[in-house]
């Protein structure tokens, strides 16, 4: 079965094929390590977008008290709250969706790797240039079974959960739709991990490990802004409305 988007993603499939074979044939890495190397190369290419998203998350944390103040001020007028929030984002130069962009860009790469590993040409290259295995993985082009499958699923779920939790912790004011995508997508991926070639799980686990390392470095180099003091929080709250004057009875 070929996904209908395969032709659209053919440039990505060809690029992944070229990089993996270069790492295997020219650098001398095993097929599993070649997939990991390709994964890290892809993430390094996307690093500028990732850093932009992280800086946006940091700015979101800075404006969070102002957003909370708007929420309290317009709690009875959701439409006005949305308009005022968009104006605040524009004024502060914040894009609430930029933090989710690097994650979304991983989806076409994931599909491209899935198509590549299932392709006849790539499978023939792996079979003609053994070994196809890597550590506990028997073959990167065959679906995992037994203990191999269990270990891959545990590693996938553990690293994915850690990456998602750390990302959402870094962006407490993220749009709910972003968090929904980041929470649901791993559940959609699990059936692929079970039935797809083991190399797909190796790719995604390597992606998660890179993300965790990247977030650790970011915490050191771009620390989160300090929490606002009670005085600063109080200053962002709108003043209470003036009391209504009682009408005098005639």
Q: Round to whole Å and give the CA distance between 20 and 113.
A: 10
pLDDT class of 242 with cuts at 50, 70, 90: low
Q: How many domains does the chain have?
A: 1
Share of the chain residues as helix, strand and coil, in percent rounded to the nearest 5: 70, 0, 25
pLDDT on residue 33: 94
- Name the pTM for this structure: 0.72
pLDDT exceeds 70 at position 6: no
Query: Would you say residue 142 lies in a domain?
Result: yes
Q: Which domain holds residue 168?
A: 10-225
Residue 237 lies in a domain: no
Q: Is residue 215 part of a domain?
A: yes
**What is the mean pLDDT of the segment spanning 5-18?**
83
Is the residue at 235 inside a domain? no
Give the mean pLDDT of 221-248.
55
Q: Is residue 238 domain-resident?
A: no
Any domain includes 2? no
Specify which residues 137 forms β-bridges with. Answer: 134
Do residues 74 and 84 make contact, with C-beta atoms less than 8 angstroms apart?
yes
Q: Considering the domain boundaries, does residue 246 fall inside one? A: no
Is there a domain that residue 231 lies in? no
């Amino acid at each position: 079965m070929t996904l209908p988007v395969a032709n659209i993603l053919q440039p990505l499939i060809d690029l992944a094929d070229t990089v993996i074979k270069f790492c295997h044939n020219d650098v001398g890495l095993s097929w599993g390590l070649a997939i990991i190397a390709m994964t890290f190369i892809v993430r390094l290419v996307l690093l500028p977008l990732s850093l932009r998203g992280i800086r946006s998350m940091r700015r979101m944390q800075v404006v969070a008290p102002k957003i909370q103040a708007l929420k309290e001020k317009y709690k009875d007028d959701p439409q006005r709250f949305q308009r005022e929030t968009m104006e605040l984002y524009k004024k502060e130069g914040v894009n609430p969706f930029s933090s989710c962009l690097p994650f979304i860009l991983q989806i076409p790469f994931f599909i491209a790797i899935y198509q590549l590993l299932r392709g006849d040409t790539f499978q023939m290259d792996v079979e003609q240039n053994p070994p196809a295995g890597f550590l506990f993985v028997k073959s990167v082009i065959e679906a995992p079974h037994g203990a191999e499958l269990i270990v891959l699923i545990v590693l996938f779920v553990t690293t994915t959960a850690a990456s998602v939790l750390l990302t959402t912790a870094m962006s407490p004011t993220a749009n709910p739709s972003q968090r929904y995508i980041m929470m649901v997508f791993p559940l959609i991926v699990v059936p692929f991990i079970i039935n797809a070639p083991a190399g797909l799980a190796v790719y995604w686990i390597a992606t998660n490990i890179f993300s965790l390392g990247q977030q650790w470095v970011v915490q050191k180099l771009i620390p989160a802004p300090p929490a606002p003091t009670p005085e600063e929080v109080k200053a962002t709250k709108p003043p209470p409305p003036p009391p209504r004057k009682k009408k005098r009875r005639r």
